[in-house]
Each structure stands twice: as structure tokens, then as C-alpha cells.
Amino acid sequence: MPLKNTGTEQLIKDTTKRLIFAEGKLHATTQEIADAAGVNRTSLHYYFRSRDLLIAAVFQEAMHGLSERLNQCMVSAKPFKQKVEFLIEVFLKDMMAFPYQETFMVTEINTLGKQLVGNIDSVPVKSFLSEVQQEMDSGNLKAMPPSQFLMNLFSLLSYPLIMAPLYKQLFQLSDGAFDELITARKTMIMDLIFNSKS
């Protein structure tokens, strides 16, 4: 552990996170990262040993943060509907700040594989899924396997953001107009999920 902590290690991680997850430089080289952080490329190796380990550290940190925030939503004391509403807000906010985080996850989903799911605490997810089941039993939600409900929710939230460049082109939208479209989805998704006839 560093006695003389100069903050370089965190600077490198933060810079990598910004480059890859916010600016979309998914294949940023060690040189590009070092330049952006204003340090010598060797420092990356000094602190993280290899490029792969740096990326892994950054990704783990990001996933852990997001996972923690989502878990707070899932286990909060709010009524179910408010809980989902809050979850949508938290998730959308994160995704708009780091638009390429999920894209990166998709590209690395095979290499990271099981390690990825290891970063997700399954307890809050399971508790959330059983709450979904309860809501279905009481007729507040259309009956379906709770896993499908969860996939629906995240599909509707994530996919348009992942495909943003495509949809902007297809619908001929400016960045601002597209952001409005995404923001409008919050209530739309709530509607779609909660107001379906059984």
C-alpha cells in the first residue's frame, strides 16, 4: 500500500472511466489513456501491471457502484410502484452520464463472463423478484415469470440508449431532441409495465 499517496492511481482509473464509458473510446490504448491522464505510460503498468487488469479494475469499480445504487432502490421501504419509479430514475441518470458503460459491458460480456455476475449481489435481486411475484399474485401486475418482468424493464430502459447513434440517424434527431425522447420514456415505461390488462 502506498505510503506516499499521490493520487495517480485513482487519476488513472477516473481517466480511463471517462474515456471509455463517457466518451466511447472503447478501444483506447494505454498510450491514449496515459496522455489523457497526463502521466507516463509506464505508470499504468506500475499501478495495474497490465492493460487488462486496469480495465478490469475500472469496470469492477463502475459495476459495483451501479449495482450498489440499484440495490438501494430494490430493498428500499417504498411501495412497489415508487420503488420501480426510483429504479428507473437512478438507472437512466447513470446511463446518461456514462452512455457507453453498457455498450462496453456488451462487448466484454464473454471475456468477463461469470466474473461480471459475481459483482452483482444476488440477494437484493431475489428479494425484488419475489416482490414482483407478490404484486402479480395480488393482481397489481400482469402475471408472467418475474424474470421476464425484470428483463422487460431493463430492455425498455437500456436498449434505446445503447442504440442511440442508430436511432438519432433513423429518426433524424439532434442530441437534444433524442435526450427528450429518452426522458419521456420514464413515464411511458411505467405506463406500459403497470397498465397492461390481465
Partner DNA sequence: TTTTATTTTAACATTTTTGTTAAACAAAAA
Partner DNA sequence: TTTTTGTTTAACAAAAATGTTAAAATAAAA
Residues that bind DNA (CB under 7 A): 2-6, 8, 29-31, 39-43, 45-46, 49-52
Member of 121, 181, 186, 190 binding a copy of itself (CB under 8 A):
181
Separation between Cα atoms, residue 136 and residue 149, nearest integer Å: 10
Q: At residue 192, what is the residue type?
A: L
Closest CA to 58 of 91, 40, 33, 83: 33
Among 8, 60, 67, 152, the residue binding a copy of itself under the rule CB under 8 A is 152
Check residue 196 for interaction with a copy of itself (CB under 8 A). yes
Q: Which among DNA, a copy of itself, none contacts residue 8 (Cβ within 5 to 8 A by kind)?
A: DNA
**Residue 54: CB atoms within 10 Å:** 19
Chosen residue from 113, 130, 134, 137 binding a copy of itself by CB under 8 A: 113
Task: Choose among DNA, a copy of itself, none what residue 142 binds, the Cβ cut-off being 5 to 8 Å by kind.
Answer: a copy of itself
Within 10 A of 59 (CB to CB), how many other CB atoms are there? 22
Partner in contact with 119, chosen from a copy of itself, DNA, none, beta carbon below 5 to 8 Å by kind:
none
Closest CA to 34 of 13, 52, 53: 13
